[in-house]
Amino acid sequence: MPFFYGTEIASRLMLGTAQYPSPAILADAFKRSGAGVATVSIRREAGGERAGQDFWDLIRDLNVQVLPNTAGCHSVREAVTTAQMARELFDTRWIKLEVIGHADTLQPDPFGLVEAARILTEDGFQVFPYCTEDLVLCDRLLSAGCGVLMPWGAPIGTGLGLNNIYGLRSLRAHFPDVPMVIDAGLGLPSQAAQAMEMGFDAVLLNTAVAKAGDPAAMAEGFAKAVEAGTLARRADPMEPRDMAAPSTPVLGKAFLE
């Protein structure tokens, strides 16, 4: 199982906690998936006295690692303040850092992301930056102190899968020892399996499970796909080739006239 900042995770599947039809369905999805990490938006906990307490009790009962995030933040100041609130509320140094730069695609702001990552790591946070697959950006994030990268597969909530295979393969090859999680854009278990076959350490998703007709079944499907992709990667798969090759040897075969 992967290690993030020295902590071993029970599963290579991480799940978000938003948009589920009910708390019971959310809990069932986590149970059937065996997910090892739950991402939680601090904004769920921020309004009113004891607001969100029932939700937090539910997350605690899942008995998984909690990764609070700065979802919806559009500036460095907002993201840093939200992270500091999350540290107090959830008693963890982990933070999934989001600094959104484009309203339509929800693409991260690369400049704000690096600045916020540097501020937070200097303040003792262990940062999981939601980023694109850009090599220069990722190098800057590592230099800022990040020990994990979370490149998107596609824009959040689209279900498009791995949009830039070349870019993701290049990123994985360029930083072979950096833990990496494909975050956002996955819609089908087959896409999660593909990410694992490419050598990524885990996948994080929310909408594909929460908005499925049967969220718990979809969560289980993703869990099995992640396992299959991991096994395939470890098995050293064959390289694709242009020409056909017989699976049955012709040496020793009888030729009849």
Q: What are the two backbone dihedrals, phi and then psi, of residue 33, each rounded to the nearest 5 degrees? A: -85, -25
User: Does 161 count as an annotated binding residue?
Assistant: no
Containing H/E element for 127? strand 126-131
Q: Is 207 annotated as a binding residue?
A: yes
Does 225 belong to an annotated binding site? no
> Residue 194 corresponds to which tokens in the numbers above?
């593909």
253 is catalytic: no
State the sign of the Cα–Cα–Cα–Cα dihedral 201, 96, 10, 226: negative
* C-alpha–C-alpha distance, residues 201 and 218, integer Å: 20
**Which of 96, 211, 224, 253 is the catalytic position?**
96
The beta strands (E) that lie in the chain are given as 3-4, 7-8, 13-16, 37-41, 65-69, 94-97, 126-131, 150-151, 181-183, 202-205
Cross-strand pairs, 202: 181
| 185 labeled binding residue | yes
User: Would the annotation count 112 as a binding residue?
Assistant: no
The residues assigned a catalytic role are 96
Q: Which residues are annotated as a binding site for 1-deoxy-D-xylulose 5-phosphate?
A: 157, 184-185, 206-207
Q: Which residues are annotated as a binding site?
A: 157, 184-185, 206-207
